[in-house]
Amino acid sequence: MIINRNIALLLILFLLPLAGCSSELKTYPTQGKVVYKDDGSPFMGKIYFEAVNAPHTRSMATTKADGSFSLSTVREGSGSVEGEQVVRVDIDMPDSPDFKNRSKVVRLQYLDFITSPIRVNVEPRNSNFFVIEIERPKN
């Protein structure tokens, strides 16, 4: 079966843009700083953002010594997806469910997306910066 040359050309022109489509998630640069509310000292650990809306995409970063972070979702430093995010933190400890020791550094409510009271909104722009304030555990 021979296809008309014009039809073949039209098919190629129609399908070519589809070949260049990317399934990569659209993310926006998201940085900030995690500090303790009482004295502004930096929090050392990990920070996670989870989109409130499906598919609940997560991004994460490890804070630097000054508490600063730059979130990654699909690649290093790529940021977060647009929209409302729930924020949780975790301290740098060996992988274990040792919540008793974690609770000496940060309130347990911040360690889970379900109980974390922190919410932020990532905007579709070239820079999103958040100062995340957390409370120390009550003694």
Give mean pLDDT, residues 1-14.
53
- Please state, in angstroms and as integers, the Cα–Cα distance from residue 122 to each residue in 25, 28, 40, 130, 133, following that order: 14, 8, 23, 9, 17
Q: Is 131 a residue whose pLDDT tops 50?
A: yes
DSSP 42: B
From edge to edge, which strands make up the β-sheet containing 45-51? 58-62, 45-51, 83-91, 119-122
Domains, the chain, with CATH or none: 30-134 (2.60.40)
Q: Is 20 a residue whose pLDDT tops 50?
A: no
Say which residues have a Cβ less than 8 Å from residue 27's Cβ, sequence separation at least 6.
59, 73, 74, 78, 79, 80, 81
Q: Which amino acid is at 97?
A: P
Q: What does pTM read for this prediction?
A: 0.77
Q: Which residue has the higher pLDDT, 82 or 13?
A: 82
> How confident is the model over 51-93, as pLDDT tens digits?
999 999 999 999 999 999 999 997 777 899 999 999 999 987 6
User: What integer pLDDT is reported at residue 75 of this predicted model?
Assistant: 79
Rg value, the chain, Cα:
21
Q: Is 12 a residue whose pLDDT tops 70?
A: no
Out of 16-25, 40-49, 96-105, 123-132, least confident range: 16-25
Polymer length of the chain: 139
Asked if the peptide bond before residue 117 counts as cis, ω within 30 degrees of 0, the response is no
